[in-house]
A and B are shown apart, each in its own frame.
Chain A
Amino acid sequence: MIKTEKILHLKSCRGRKVRVVREHYLRQQVPCYSSLCQADCGNDGKVLPGDLTHYVFPDVGVVVDYLEILEIRELQGIVFTQTACQGVQHSKGRRQHNRLRNLLKDPRHDCVLFANEFQEYSYCPREKGESQEKWQTRCVYSAAVWYFHHLAGMMDVVMITEDQDAVAQYSSLNSGVYVISVQDFLQNFWPELQAAHELYGSISQALQEKESEGTEREYTEHLPAEVLEAGIKSGRYIQGTLNVSKHRAHSEASIMTEGLSNKNTDLSWGVLVCGGKNRNRAVHGDVVVVELLPKSEWRGKDTALAEGQGEDKSGEESDSKPMPTGRVVGILQRNWRDYVVTFPPREGPQPQSRNSQRILAVPWDHRIPKIRISTQQAEALQDHRVVVRIDSWESTSLYPNGHSVRVLGRAGELETEVQTILIENCIHVPPFSDAQLREMPVNSPEKPWRVDPAQVAERHDLRESHLVFSIDPQGCEDVDDTLSVRSLAGGKLLELGVHIADVTHFVTEGSLTDLEARARATTYYLADRRYDMLPAVLSADLCSLLGGVDRYAMSVMWELDAQTLVVNKVWYGRTLIRSSYQLHYELAQALLNGEQAEVPELAELGSEEKDAKLAQLTQALETLTHVARHLRAQRDRGGALELEGVEVRAQLDEERNITALIPRQPLEVHETVAECMIYANHWVARKIQETFPHQALLRRHPPPRQEFFSQLVDSAVAGGFTIDTRTNKALADSLDRAVDPRDPLVNRLLRIMATTAMSQALYFSTGLQSQDQCYHYGLALDRYTHFTSPIRRYADIVVHRLLTAAIDMDRGGGLGKAIAGNKELEETAHHINNKNRAAQRAQKISTELFQCLYFKERDPQSDQSCVADAVVYSIRDNGVLVFVPEYGVKGPVYVKNREGQVVAAGQDGSCEWQSGSVRRYSDHITTTSSCGTSTFSLFHHITVRISVRSTHCHADTLNLEVTSNKPHHRTEPPQPRSQGRSQLVQEVVRLAEEAAQEKAARRPKLSREEREFSQSKTPNLYSLLEEVRELALLDLQVDKQVCATTA
C-alpha cells in the first residue's frame, strides 16, 4: 500500500474555509469484477460477463443526470467508478446514492463498482487550479484506460460523457478506449433500444428547461432541515405524511401524524391543510412538516357529496367541526414515484413557439398536481398515457417539472388502461428473464423431471402409506395444498395431515427467482388476467401437487385422539407425496352426501376394486368433515367472526356459475378444507414462534377501533337493529340477529359496513410486537401465519424457510444458514404488506375499469341493462350513497344538483328535477318542491340509471342517477345476469379485441382457453375463503354475490 495525501478545502461549522488533509491509501490489488480478468483479482460476487462487445464507463455528470437510462436492464457491462458514486452522493444526496447502491447490488443488473481511486495506477491526484468537474472526468478516463489495459485489451471500453471538451480531448489518446457523448453512445450501440432514446430526450429537455427558469416566486421557501428538526423536537411543528383528499384534490389535504409523537388529542385525527399555497409544493405521500395556523383559521372537512365534480365549491359552508389546520413549512422526504399522465389535446395553434415545448400534463391520479413536461413529441403524444417522473419543484414555479419515461398508449384503450393501473400501484411485472428461467428445473416430454434419490432418502416418504388427495375448484392448475387422514392404533388415534407444495426446495434463498418473487410478493389478479409470482414451470407443474405424480411437500401432521380430538402429537417435516385424487368441491360434496358420482381417477378400474377405493375415499372425507366441524366449533367458542358466511357462499355461487355448474347451496366441504388450512397455519405459527421468538413472520389482525363502527351502529339503529361491537363474539352474534325477513340485503349491507370498519390483517415479525398483540381478531386465534399457499404468496415462502430452519434445529443440527434477523424480517413483512395492498387496489380498480367499459358500450337512455335496482346505505348532505346489487356498484346519487334543483318524485315514483330544498335527517333525506315532498330513507330500494362519466385524463367513473324512488321491477325475467362480472369482463375483452382487429389486428387474438381462464379469477377456492375470512375483502367482491341472490 502506498500512502498519499489528499488535500480538501472544507467549510467549517462557522462558515470559514478550512484546509483539511486526509490520507489516501492506494493499492495495486483492486478487484475489477470482470470475468475476463487475467491478473487474479479477488473478484467475488457479481462479475461482468466476458461476452459483451464493450464495457461502459459513465462520467460523473452522466451518472448524476442520466442514472435512469443506466438503470435500463438491456444496457449491460456498466462499470461505475468510485468517483462517479461519490459525485452522486455529493450532488444528489442520499436517496439517489442509495438508488445507485441498490442498482449495484441487484444481481439482475449487469453493473459493477470499480474503486478506481484506491487503485495505484488509475488514481490521479487533483492538480492545482483544476476544477472539480475536470478532475472527475480525468479520473473516470484514467480508470477506463487502466481497465482496458488490465483486461489486456480483450474488451473495448467506452467512456460516455456529456462534456464536449472531454470528448475532444480524450477521444484519440488511446485506441480501444472510446470517449463519446451519451447520445452518440445510444445511437451507435443501442439504436434499437427505443425506450433509452426517449428517456434521454426527455431528461435532456428537462435539464435545459431547468436552466431557463423564471424568477417570480409562487410559493414560500421551505425551511432548512436543522430548523425543521429543532421545531419538531420542540413541538412547534408537526411531522407527518401528506394525504391529499381524493375528491377535493386541489383544496383539501390532511397530515397523518405518526403514532405517539403527539400527546395532544386534538391532533389524533390529523391536521388539515387547505389550498395550494398552504400545501407549499408537497405532493401526496411526502413526509412533510407543518405549522399549525391560529385557531381562528381552523376549518372543518366538507361532507357534501362532490365526487368527481371537479370544480371547487365556492364558499364552503362547512358545518362540520373545525379541525386543526396548518401549512406546510418544509418537506423531509419526497416520496415521488412514477406517475401516469395524459397529454392534453392541443387547442388551436400555440402562440409562442418557444414555449410550445412545455406541456402541462394531467396525472391519472387526482391527488397529484399537473406536471410540466418539456418534450418535442407533444404532437405525437396527444391523448396518450405516458409514464413520467417529477424532477423538481422550485418555489418559482406553479407546477412541478418532470420528464417522460415511457409511452403506454392511447388513452381509453384496454391495454393502456390496464398498464396504467399497474404503474399507478407500483406493480412491476416484467416477463421472467432468461436467467431466471434457466434456474428452473426442466420438465418436458423429452426430459421429464424425476424425483432425486438423495431427496427420497432425506424426506419422509408418504407415497405408499398415506391416502393423499386435494380438493380445489374445478380446472385449477396450481394445487398447493393436499390433505390426508387415516386412523392409527386400531382406531384409537387419528392422523390428520396437511401437505403443502415445497416451493422453497426449488426456489433457494437469494436466487434470481427468489428475488423476483420477493419483489412481486404475491400473484396479481386483475379482472381479466393474472401475473404469477413464480414462473409457470413451478406454479403450474413442479410445485403443483397434481394427482398421480410424485411431488415434494412440506407437511404438518397431527395425531389426534379419535374420540375427543385432542392433539397428542404434531409432526412437521419435508415429505414426498403422490396425490391419489384431485377432487373438486362438488365431487367431494357429492361423495359425502352419498350421491352417485364419477371419480375420474377410478374410471378404468373394475367395479369391485372401484367400490373398495371409493369407500375408502368417502370414509376419509367423512372423517375430515368430522374433524373440521370440531375445529370450527372450537374457534367459534373463542369468538371467531362469521361476518362473511353468507357472502362467501354467494361468492362460491359466482365461481360455480363460471364453471357452469348448477348447485346453489353452500357446500360444507369448502369450510372443511378452509378449516384444515387455518389449523395448519395456526400450528405452524406456534412452531416458528416458539423456535424463533424474535424473528418469526406471523400475521395479526388488530381489533378495530370502536369509533369506526359508528356508521354501522347508526345505520343499524335506523334499520331497527342493535349491534354490539365490544368483542368479536358479540359483534358476530349481533350481526347474526340483525336480519330483516323482508329484505335479505339489509343484513348483507350491515356486514359490508362491519367489514369496512375493520382494520386489515398484517404480516409482522414477532420481535417487534409483544405476545398479546399477535392476536388474530377475525379468526380468534392467538397466533396465525400464512403457510398454505407458497405458490402465490411470498410470505408463505418465508414461513416455509423458517419452519425448515426450526425442523433442522430440532434435529440437533445448528442453523445451517443464518435466518433473517428481526429487522430484516420486518422489512420483508412491510414490503409484502405494501404489495398486498397494491394488489388489492389494482384488482379493485381493474374491476371498476371493466364496469365502465361495459357501460360505455350501452346507451343509458335506451338500453334496459342500464337501469337497475339500488339500495340506499348512507345519507349525505346533498344525496345518498347507494349500492347496486346487480352490478356490484357503489356510488353516490344526488338529490340536489349544482343548479340547486332537487329530485321530485311523482305519484308513480318517477323522478324529475325541480327547484326546491333538501333536508337531511339521520335516517332519511327529504326533498321539498312544488310537487310535494319525497323521501329517501336508509335501506330503501330505488331505481337508478347507470351511465359512464368519461373523463379524459383520469379513470372513467360510473354515474348513478335516480329515476324512481320505487324498487325497480324488470319486465322480462332477469337473464343469467347473475354471472355479473365474469360475463362483463368477457364482453369487454371481446369488444376490445374486435377493436384491435379492426385496427390492423396486431395483437394476437386471445385463445379460447385464455378467455376461459380469464374468468376464474382466483384458482384456489380456499384462498378466496381465507381472504374473505381475513376481512381483507373488496367491497366489490362482496357486492357481487348480492346480485347472485337477487337474480
Chain B
Amino acid sequence: MGNVVQRQTRGALRFEVCGNMAGLELLSDQGYRLDGRKASELRKVQARMGVFAQADGSAYLEQGNTKALAVVYGPHEVRGLRSRIRHDRAVINCQYSMATFSTAERKRRPHGDRKSTEMSLHLKQTFEAAVMTQLYPRSQIDIYVKILQSDGGNYSVCVNAATLAVIDAGIPMRDYVCACTVGFVDETPLTDLCHAEESGGVSSLALALLPRGGQIALLQMDARLHQDHLESLIEAAMTACKGVSKVLDEVVRQHLQEVSVLSGE
C-alpha cells in the first residue's frame, strides 16, 4: 500500500511541472474552456448497446473523443483458480486495455502493465459495489473494456460503457453506475475533462456514483487539492454523474424499444 501512495505523489509532482510549462489558459475570462464548453458542461455522449452477438452483453460508448468498447461474459462458472470461488456471491473479473492506436503516438501496450492493472482494479471495485453479486454465488462475471481512442477521462468512460454492457447482459444491478472526472481551475470545478485539460496541470478527481441513492461507488484523486475545495468538487462530480445517468437511461430505453420491435412483441 505504501508503495502505491508513493507513486501517486510522484505523479502529482509531475502534473504540477507540466502545468507550469504548458501555460494554456484552461478557462477563459469569458468562461469558455479550450474546446468551447462552459465549466459545467459535459462532452457529447453517444452510445450503443448490443454491438456483438457472441458476448453475453456488449456496449460501445463515446464521450467526446474518448471511445470505449465494453464486453461482458457471465455469470458463468469460475475458471482458473478454484480458490477464488466465493460461496455467497459472484466474483467480478475486470480487464482494461488500450488500443495501440488510441493515442496520438502509436504505442504497443502490453497487457498487465501497472497503469492498466490499477485501472482494472478500480473497475472491479466499482462494479462490486453496483452489481448484485449475491444473486450468483460460486460464479464469475467477466468485464472487458478496451479504449479505442483516448481523449481524457478514460476511467469514467470505461465505467459508463461497462454499465451498459452489464445491463445488456441482463445482470441485475442496484442502479446505473455513472462516472465522471472533474478538475479544479481558477476556483471553478470543470466537469468531464478532456485530454488537453488533464495534461494541463489540473488536479482531477474521478467519481463513480449510483445516482438514485446518491452512493459513491468509487472516488479517486491523485493530485493535490486544498481541503476547502473538495466539497464543491464532489458536488460538481455528482451533478455530472446524474447528467450521464440520464443519457444512459435514454440509451437503454431506446435499445429496449428497438429490440422489442425486432423480436415482434
Chain B's closest residue to A21 (CB) is: B65
Contact of B36 among A18, A20, A118 (CB under 8 A): A118
Q: Determine if A104 and B65 form an interchain contact, defined as CB atoms under 8 angstroms apart.
A: no
- In chain B between 97 and 149, which residues have their CB closer than 8 angstroms to a CB of chain A? 104-105
Contact of B29 among A18, A21, A27, A105 (CB under 8 A): A105
User: Which segment of B37-45, B236-244, B247-255 sits at the interface?
Assistant: B37-45
Cα–Cα distance between A19 and B104 once the two chains are bound (Å) = 6
Cα–Cα distance between A113 and B41 once the two chains are bound (Å) = 21
Give the Cβ gap from A200 to chain B, nearest Cβ, in Å. 28
- In chain B between 189 and 210, which residues have their CB closer than 8 angstroms to a CB of chain A? 194, 196
**Proximity string of chain A (101-138) to chain B, C-beta cutoff 8 Å, 1 when within and 0 when not:** 10011000000010101100000000000000000000
Q: A18-B104, A22-B194, A101-B29 are in contact. List 5 more A-B contacts (CB 8 A).
A: A12-B105, A22-B35, A25-B41, A31-B30, A94-B23
Q: Determine if B41 and A1 form an interchain contact, defined as CB atoms under 8 angstroms apart.
A: yes
Q: Assuming the A-B contacts A22-B196, A23-B64, are A115 and B32 also in contact, with contact meaning beta carbons closer than 8 angstroms in the complex?
A: yes
B37: A residues at CB distance < 8 A: 1, 25
Q: Determine if B36 and A117 form an interchain contact, defined as CB atoms under 8 angstroms apart.
A: yes
List 6 A-B pairs, minimum CB-CB distance, nearest first: A25-B36, A118-B36, A23-B35, A18-B104, A3-B44, A23-B64
Q: Determine if A104 and B29 form an interchain contact, defined as CB atoms under 8 angstroms apart.
A: yes
**Proximity string of chain A (5-29) to chain B, C-beta cutoff 8 Å, 1 when within and 0 when not:** 1000000100010111111111100
User: For the complex, is A89 an interface residue (Cβ under 8 Å from B)?
Assistant: yes
Cα–Cα distance between A23 and B46 once the two chains are bound (Å) = 14
B56: A residues at CB distance < 8 A: none
Task: Among A3, A5, A115, find the residue whose CB has the most chain B CB atoms closer than 10 A.
Answer: A3
Task: Among B32, B151, B194, find the residue whose CB has the most chain A CB atoms closer than 10 A.
Answer: B32
Cα–Cα distance between A3 and B37 once the two chains are bound (Å) = 10
A113: B residues at CB distance < 8 A: 29-30
B41: A residues at CB distance < 8 A: 1, 25
B30: A residues at CB distance < 8 A: 31, 113, 115
Cα–Cα distance between A31 and B34 once the two chains are bound (Å) = 17
Q: Determine if B36 and A26 form an interchain contact, defined as CB atoms under 8 angstroms apart.
A: yes
Q: Determine if B65 and A5 form an interchain contact, defined as CB atoms under 8 angstroms apart.
A: yes
Q: Determine if B29 and A23 form an interchain contact, defined as CB atoms under 8 angstroms apart.
A: no
Give the Cβ gap from B191 to chain A, nearest Cβ, in Å. 13
Cα–Cα distance between A23 and B192 once the two chains are bound (Å) = 13
Cα–Cα distance between A26 and B32 once the two chains are bound (Å) = 11
Cα–Cα distance between A16 and B106 once the two chains are bound (Å) = 12
Cα–Cα distance between A21 and B196 once the two chains are bound (Å) = 11
Q: Is the interface of B mostly helix, strand, loop or mixed?
A: loop
Q: Assuming the A-B contacts A89-B25, A104-B29, are A23 and B194 also in contact, with contact meaning beta carbons closer than 8 angstroms in the complex?
A: yes
Give me 20 A-to-B residue pairs in the complex whose CB atoms sit less than 8 angstroms apart, sorted by A's number: A1-B41, A1-B44, A3-B44, A3-B64, A20-B104, A22-B34, A22-B65, A23-B35, A23-B43, A23-B64, A23-B194, A24-B36, A25-B36, A25-B41, A25-B44, A27-B36, A104-B29, A105-B29, A113-B30, A115-B28
B65: A residues at CB distance < 8 A: 5, 21-23
Chain A's closest residue to B104 (CB) is: A18
Q: Determine if B32 and A118 form an interchain contact, defined as CB atoms under 8 angstroms apart.
A: yes
Chain A's closest residue to B35 (CB) is: A23
- In chain B between 1 and 38, which residues have their CB closer than 8 angstroms to a CB of chain A? 23, 25, 28-30, 32, 34-37
Cα–Cα distance between A104 and B28 once the two chains are bound (Å) = 12
Cα–Cα distance between A12 and B105 once the two chains are bound (Å) = 9
B196: A residues at CB distance < 8 A: 22
Cα–Cα distance between A1042 and B94 once the two chains are bound (Å) = 89
Q: Which residues of B contact A (CB under 8 A)?
A: 23, 25, 28-30, 32, 34-37, 41, 43-44, 64-65, 104-105, 151, 194, 196
Give the Cβ gap from A813 to chain B, nearest Cβ, in Å. 23
Give the Cβ gap from B129 to chain A, nearest Cβ, in Å. 31
A105: B residues at CB distance < 8 A: 29
Cα–Cα distance between A113 and B32 once the two chains are bound (Å) = 12
Cα–Cα distance between A21 and B34 once the two chains are bound (Å) = 13
Cα–Cα distance between A362 and B88 once the two chains are bound (Å) = 89
Cα–Cα distance between A94 and B21 once the two chains are bound (Å) = 12
Give the Cβ gap from A695 to chain B, nearest Cβ, in Å. 16
B36: A residues at CB distance < 8 A: 24-27, 115, 117-118
Chain B's closest residue to A117 (CB) is: B36
Q: Determine if A23 and B151 form an interchain contact, defined as CB atoms under 8 angstroms apart.
A: yes
Give the Cβ gap from B61 to chain A, nearest Cβ, in Å. 15
A104: B residues at CB distance < 8 A: 29
Chain A's closest residue to B25 (CB) is: A89
A5: B residues at CB distance < 8 A: 65
A115: B residues at CB distance < 8 A: 28, 30, 32, 36
Give the Cβ gap from B258 to chain A, nearest Cβ, in Å. 24
Chain A's closest residue to B33 (CB) is: A25
Cα–Cα distance between A221 and B34 once the two chains are bound (Å) = 35
Give the Cβ gap from A21 to chain B, nearest Cβ, in Å. 6
Task: Among A27, A89, A118, find the residue whose CB has the most chain B CB atoms closer than 10 A.
Answer: A118
Chain B's closest residue to A104 (CB) is: B29
Cα–Cα distance between A126 and B35 once the two chains are bound (Å) = 15
Cα–Cα distance between A621 and B215 once the two chains are bound (Å) = 73
Q: Determine if A12 and B104 form an interchain contact, defined as CB atoms under 8 angstroms apart.
A: yes
Cα–Cα distance between A795 and B105 once the two chains are bound (Å) = 55
Give the Cβ gap from A143 to chain B, nearest Cβ, in Å. 14
B43: A residues at CB distance < 8 A: 3, 23
B32: A residues at CB distance < 8 A: 115, 118
Cα–Cα distance between A89 and B24 once the two chains are bound (Å) = 9
A118: B residues at CB distance < 8 A: 32, 36
Give the Cβ gap from A228 to chain B, nearest Cβ, in Å. 13
Cα–Cα distance between A3 and B192 once the two chains are bound (Å) = 15
A3: B residues at CB distance < 8 A: 43-44, 64
Cα–Cα distance between A748 and B146 once the two chains are bound (Å) = 84
Cα–Cα distance between A118 and B35 once the two chains are bound (Å) = 8
A25: B residues at CB distance < 8 A: 35-37, 41, 44
Cα–Cα distance between A89 and B25 once the two chains are bound (Å) = 10
B104: A residues at CB distance < 8 A: 12, 18-20
Cα–Cα distance between A21 and B151 once the two chains are bound (Å) = 9
Give the Cβ gap from B37 to chain A, nearest Cβ, in Å. 5
Q: Determine if B64 and A18 form an interchain contact, defined as CB atoms under 8 angstroms apart.
A: no
Q: Assuming the A-B contacts A1-B41, A23-B64, A115-B30, are A18 and B105 also in contact, with contact meaning beta carbons closer than 8 angstroms in the complex?
A: yes
Cα–Cα distance between A113 and B28 once the two chains are bound (Å) = 11
Cα–Cα distance between A12 and B103 once the two chains are bound (Å) = 12
Give the Cβ gap from B104 to chain A, nearest Cβ, in Å. 5
Cα–Cα distance between A620 and B94 once the two chains are bound (Å) = 88
Chain A's closest residue to B152 (CB) is: A23
A89: B residues at CB distance < 8 A: 25
Chain A's closest residue to B149 (CB) is: A21
Give the Cβ gap from B256 to chain A, nearest Cβ, in Å. 26
B44: A residues at CB distance < 8 A: 1, 3, 25
B105: A residues at CB distance < 8 A: 12, 16, 18
Cα–Cα distance between A467 and B28 once the two chains are bound (Å) = 56
Give the Cβ gap from A713 to chain B, nearest Cβ, in Å. 47
Chain B's closest residue to A118 (CB) is: B36
Task: Among B25, B30, B65, find the residue whose CB has the most chain A CB atoms closer than 10 A.
Answer: B30
Give the Cβ gap from B150 to chain A, nearest Cβ, in Å. 11
Cα–Cα distance between A16 and B28 once the two chains are bound (Å) = 29
**Proximity string of chain A (66-102) to chain B, C-beta cutoff 8 Å, 1 when within and 0 when not:** 0000000000000000000000010000100000010
B194: A residues at CB distance < 8 A: 22-23
**Proximity string of chain A (537-549) to chain B, C-beta cutoff 8 Å, 1 when within and 0 when not:** 0000000000000
Cα–Cα distance between A806 and B23 once the two chains are bound (Å) = 38
Give the Cβ gap from A6 to chain B, nearest Cβ, in Å. 8
Cα–Cα distance between A22 and B65 once the two chains are bound (Å) = 8
Cα–Cα distance between A1003 and B116 once the two chains are bound (Å) = 80
Cα–Cα distance between A27 and B29 once the two chains are bound (Å) = 18
B35: A residues at CB distance < 8 A: 22-25
Give the Cβ gap from B36 to chain A, nearest Cβ, in Å. 4
Cα–Cα distance between A25 and B25 once the two chains are bound (Å) = 17
Cα–Cα distance between A200 and B104 once the two chains are bound (Å) = 44
B25: A residues at CB distance < 8 A: 89
Cα–Cα distance between A809 and B25 once the two chains are bound (Å) = 37
Cα–Cα distance between A101 and B64 once the two chains are bound (Å) = 30
